[in-house]
Structure 1
Amino acid sequence: MLWLKAFHLIFMVCWFAGLFYLPRILVYFAASEDAATRAQLAVMARKLYRFVTPFMLLTIAFGIALITTNPDYYLTATWLWVKIAGVAFLVGYHLQCGRYVREANADSNRHGHVFYRFFNEIPVLFLFAIVILAVVRPF
């Protein structure tokens, strides 16, 4: 079980690194006036999105594997269901990042850098909540 937990945490950290950096690239993309810079940032965003998506899937897979080690406990734990709801939101956030990356690569971006600056802060809030739920287990 400790190996499963270790890999779950490793892939979660890798996924969050992408969730933190990807919108930051979009901030720079939206703020840039230079077409060549925008094109390079769009490529960087696309490559990063493709790189971190497997980390999301592995985080989820190892999380499910952890649940199967003691389903009677985990499936009745309120903290886990709240955590799963947070993870589901983050999966939606990740997919929305993918939409924004596609827009950037099609040069059809509809948002300014201020929007992306606020959008960039969302995963931080969920990281705090999810870690507290998993460690403190307040319910």
Structure 2
Amino acid sequence: MASDNRPEPGNAGARAKTRAFIALAIFLLILATTYVLRPDDFYLYVKAFHVIAVMSWMAGLLYLPRLFIYHSDAPIGSEQSETFKMMERRLLRVIMNPAMMITWMLGLYLAWEVFRFQGGWLHAKIAMVAALTWVHMFFGRAVRDFAADKPRRSTKYWRIWNEVPTVLMIAIVILVIIKPF
């Protein structure tokens, strides 16, 4: 324990990771229970949980680069910088990573069960989700770089990257709703 009675970051990170795994386990239990108790409605529940997971993932993808913008202005080693490190790490590990995994699991289930991987729009959507996953991994690398106090990019750089998930999200939603090809 630090002298100011705050828990050490390693312990807080371990607790956050444990909570994320517990949340995933609870989610899988709810999904399995739904399959057993409501098999006729299972597709609707999967679709609903998929949308919830996508919303959670997108919230993180839209918020994390904003944290990078503010973090870029914080002096290295300052209390503010250390707070941003913790916020970025927890957002990535506790919200974004589980939400991305659930999005992929349920999305692939829906692509197979409902669409049998047929349709050009579906292939384009999966490609866009793969691009969104690459952005997620790129942001994950940035979280590690900020945590290691590596040289920082400018706020302008992160403002541009802040728009990338939005553009991909717009393309994905248009593909899903309109199914143009």
Which TM-score bucket, shorter chain as reference?
over 0.9
Match of 1:101 among 143, 152, 162: 143
**In the alignment, which residue of structure 1 is the partner of 2:99?**
55
Aligned residues: 137
Gaps in structure 1 of 5+ consecutive residues: none
1:54-85 per-residue CA deviation (whole Å, 9 max, x = no partner) reads 10000000001112223xx4422000000000
Match of 1:110 among 134, 152, 157: 152
Please tell me the root mean square deviation across aligned C-alpha atoms, in Å. 1.2
Structure 1 residue 64 and structure 2 residue 108: aligned? Answer: yes
1:33-61 per-residue CA deviation (whole Å, 9 max, x = no partner) reads 37211111111101111021010000000
Which structure carries more relative contact order (alpha carbon 8 Å, separation 6+)? Answer: 1
Larger radius of gyration: 2
Identical columns (%): 37
**TM-score of the pair, normalised by structure 2:** 0.73
**TM-score of the pair, normalised by structure 1:** 0.94
* Cα distance in structure 2, aligned partners of 1:38 and 1:82: 39
Structure 1 residue 29 and structure 2 residue 71: aligned? Answer: yes
Alignment of 1:1-139 (within 5 A): 1-33=43-75, 35-51=78-94, 52-70=96-114, 73-139=115-181
Look up the SS of the partner of 2:131 in the other structure.
helix
Which stretches of structure 1, 4 residues or longer, exceed 3 Å deviation after superposition? none
Gaps in structure 2 of 5+ consecutive residues: 1-42
